[in-house]
Structure 1
Amino acid sequence: MYDYCVIGAGIVGLATALEISRLKPDAKIVVLDKEAGPATHQTGHNSGVIHSGLYYKPGSLKARLCREGAMAMKAFCIENAVPYREIGKLIVATSPVEVERMQALRRNAAENGIAAQEIGAGELRELEPNIEGLAALRIGESAIVSYRRVCEVMVGKLATAGVRIEFGSAVRAIVESGRDVAIETGKGRVTCRWLIACAGLQADRIAAIAGVALEHRIVPFRGEYFDVVRPDTATLVSHMIYPVPDPALPFLGIHLTPMIDGRLTVGPNAVLSLARESYAGNWPSLHDMAAYASFPGFWKMLRANLSSGIREARSSLFRGRYLQECRKYCPSLQLGDLKPYPPGIRAQAVSRDGALVHDFLFKRTSRSLHVLNAPSPAATSSIPIGRMIAETLGIAVSNRHGVPA
Structure 2
Amino acid sequence: MWEVVRVQVRNPAYDCDVLVVGGGIVGLSVAYALTRSAPGTRVTVLEKEPGPARHQTGRNSGVIHSGIYYRPGSLKARYAVQGAAEMTKFCAEYGIPHAVTGKLIVATDRAELPRLHALVQRGRENGIVVKELGAAQIAEYEPEVRGLAAIHVRSTGICDFTAVARRLGDASGADIRYGERVVRIDRRPERGVAVLTARGEVVRGRVLVNCAGLYCDDIARMTGDEPEARIVPFRGEYYELTRPGLVRGLVYPVPDPAFPFLGVHLTRGIDGGVHVGPNAVPALAREGYGWGVVRPREALATAAWPGTWHMGRRHWRYGAGELRRSVSKAAFVTAVRRMLPAVEADDLVRAGAGVRAQAVLRNGALVDDFLIQQGPRAVHVLNAPSPAATASLPIGREVARRALEVLASR
TM-score (norm 2): 0.93
1:193 aligns with 2:203: no
Shift in CA distance, 281/261, structure 1 to aligned 2, threshold 3 Å:
farther
1:152 aligns with 2:162: no
Question: 1:5: which partner in 2?
Answer: 19
Deviations 1:268-302 (A, max 9, x none): 00001111112255422111110111111110000
- Which of 268, 280, 283 in structure 2 is aligned with 1:270? 280
Amino acid in structure 2 at the alignment position of 1:191: R
Question: 1:184: which partner in 2?
Answer: 196
Contact 2:116 2:254 in 1 (8 A): yes
Question: 1:256: which partner in 2?
Answer: 266
For the aligned residue pairs, the C-alpha RMSD in angstroms reads 1.2
How far apart in 1 are the matches of 2:402 and 2:222? 23
Question: 2:237: which partner in 1?
Answer: 224
How far apart in 1 are the matches of 2:272 and 2:122? 32
Question: 1:238: which partner in 2?
Answer: 248
Deviations 1:123-178 (A, max 9, x none): 102221100000001001100001011112122223xx2x2111111101111112
- Partner secondary structure for residue 227 of structure 2: coil
- Which of 24, 34, 46 in structure 2 is aligned with 1:32? 46
- Partner secondary structure for residue 257 of structure 1: strand
Question: 1:209: which partner in 2?
Answer: 222
- Partner secondary structure for residue 53 of structure 1: coil
Contact 2:266 2:274 in 1 (8 A): yes
Segments of structure 2 that go 5 or more residues without pairing to the other structure are 1-13
How far apart in 2 are the matches of 1:277 and 1:66? 26
Question: 1:16: which partner in 2?
Answer: 30
Question: 1:402: which partner in 2?
Answer: none
- Partner secondary structure for residue 352 of structure 2: strand
Question: 1:171: which partner in 2?
Answer: 182
- Partner secondary structure for residue 104 of structure 2: strand
Question: 1:359: which partner in 2?
Answer: 369
Segments of structure 1 that go 5 or more residues without pairing to the other structure are 397-405
Contact 1:275 1:282 in 2 (8 A): no
How far apart in 1 are the matches of 2:291 and 2:359? 22
Question: 2:351: which partner in 1?
Answer: 341
- Partner secondary structure for residue 176 of structure 1: strand
1:58 aligns with 2:69: no
TM-score (norm 1): 0.94
Amino acid in structure 2 at the alignment position of 1:372: L
How far apart in 2 are the matches of 1:107 and 1:282? 43
- Which of 146, 151, 169 in structure 2 is aligned with 1:132? 146
Question: 1:315: which partner in 2?
Answer: 325
How far apart in 2 are the matches of 1:119 and 1:236? 20
Contact 1:87 1:238 in 2 (8 A): no
Question: 1:95: which partner in 2?
Answer: 109
How far apart in 1 are the matches of 2:183 and 2:122? 43
Shift in CA distance, 282/253, structure 1 to aligned 2, threshold 3 Å:
farther
- Which of 311, 319, 343 in structure 2 is aligned with 1:301? 311
How far apart in 2 are the matches of 1:127 and 1:199? 39
Question: 1:141: which partner in 2?
Answer: 155
Deviations 1:301-330 (A, max 9, x none): 000010000000000010000111100000
Contact 2:182 2:196 in 1 (8 A): yes
- Partner secondary structure for residue 153 of structure 1: helix
Amino acid in structure 1 at the alignment position of 2:202: R
How far apart in 2 are the matches of 1:247 and 1:282? 31
Contact 1:208 1:214 in 2 (8 A): yes
Shift in CA distance, 153/394, structure 1 to aligned 2, threshold 3 Å:
closer
Contact 1:273 1:282 in 2 (8 A): no
How far apart in 2 are the matches of 1:21 and 1:44? 24
